[in-house]
Amino acid sequence: MTAAFTFPGQGSQAVGMGKALAEAFPQARAVFDEVDAALSQKLSALMWEGPEADLTLTANAQPALMAVSLAALRVLEAEAGLDLARDAAYVAGHSLGEYSALCAAGAFTIGDAARLLRIRGDAMQKAVPAGEGAMAALLGLEFEAAAAAAAEAAQGEVCQAANDNGGGQVVVSGSRAAVERACEIAKAKGARRALMLPVSAPFHCALMQPAADAMQEALAAIDIKAPVVPVVANVHAAAIQQPEMIRASLVAQVTGTVRWRECVAFMASHGVTTFYEVGAGKVLTGLVRRIAEGAEGVAIGTPDDVAAFKARPRG
């Protein structure tokens, strides 16, 4: 098998996402209904009608993005005969997308995934008082240089590499003043650009420890099954299938670096040549081309994308 199925993270949300799938396919509609029921909230109405500011809230964006990914996956299974156990070498997801990947591979139910992501989103938002944390994208520096800039900028505060996205794109996270210092240090080290990001909290850094504690408690109450396909975990950049290792990696992920560049490189080095991005947006598809030379990225999030997938030769 030469295909991997990947699932996007926060930032890919947009008002209207998933609506065309729900209108065209009952399997998609069923997923949105299941998520609405699990959360006792009409999240689907917020996704399709907005307002955008409410959809962007971490506690809404995380389960919403998972819902779109699983809706698209269920449609691929029904319409194109997709069987991950047969057709995928690996699954992986960027940050919250790891929950989508695990759910897709049968590690836990859609309802459990929705509830976990609501807890995760709430806990991440509450972990740091508004305005005290920040994130910034450093463009044009490789990971080691960006991580060094973050360490130099910390000066007793928290500042660390949060996302290694590949293609010379590294996101740093931590205390606002430290992140601002990291931007200046990165520019001095040759970064092409250093941009403060419009995020509501400093994700994937030590300041998120209260959220990691909340996830440890929440995940302890969930039945996790061995996924039918190995999951390439953010914090390991390697394939895992043991339920207890999955549980521990999801806790570690809250404060740890999303090693996406290494995750994609791992899959490519193990024979993956096509990366299907299932869900909203095309962020991961764009990153694939910068990480794995010669690999193909294919985004699947609309009825037209489903039709194109059905028409593709797969082997």
Alpha carbons 130 and 201: distance in angstroms, whole number = 7
Query: Residue for token digits 């949060």?
Result: 162
The number of beta carbons lying within 10 Å of the beta carbon of residue 221 is 9
Per DSSP, the chain holds a count of helices (H) and strands (E) of 15, 10
Q: Which of 200, 204, 236, 249 is catalytic?
A: 204
What is the spatial distance between Cα 263 and Cα 274, in angstroms, rounded to a whole number? 14
| Given 44, 95, 173, 200, the catalytic residue | 95
Nearest to 28 by CA among 74, 60, 95, 63: 74
Distance of CA 16 to the CA centre of its chain: 19
Residue 29: phi and psi, rounded to 5, are: -55, -40
Compute the distance between CA of residue 238 and CA of residue 13 in angstroms, rounded to an integer. 27
DSSP H helical ranges for 57-109: 58-80, 84-87, 97-104
Q: Is 100 a catalytic residue?
A: no
Residue 204 annotated to the active site: yes
DSSP state letter for 106: T
**Cβ pair 261, 291 in contact under 8 A:** yes
What does the longest C-alpha to C-alpha distance in the chain come to? Answer: 55
Catalytic residue numbers read: 95, 204
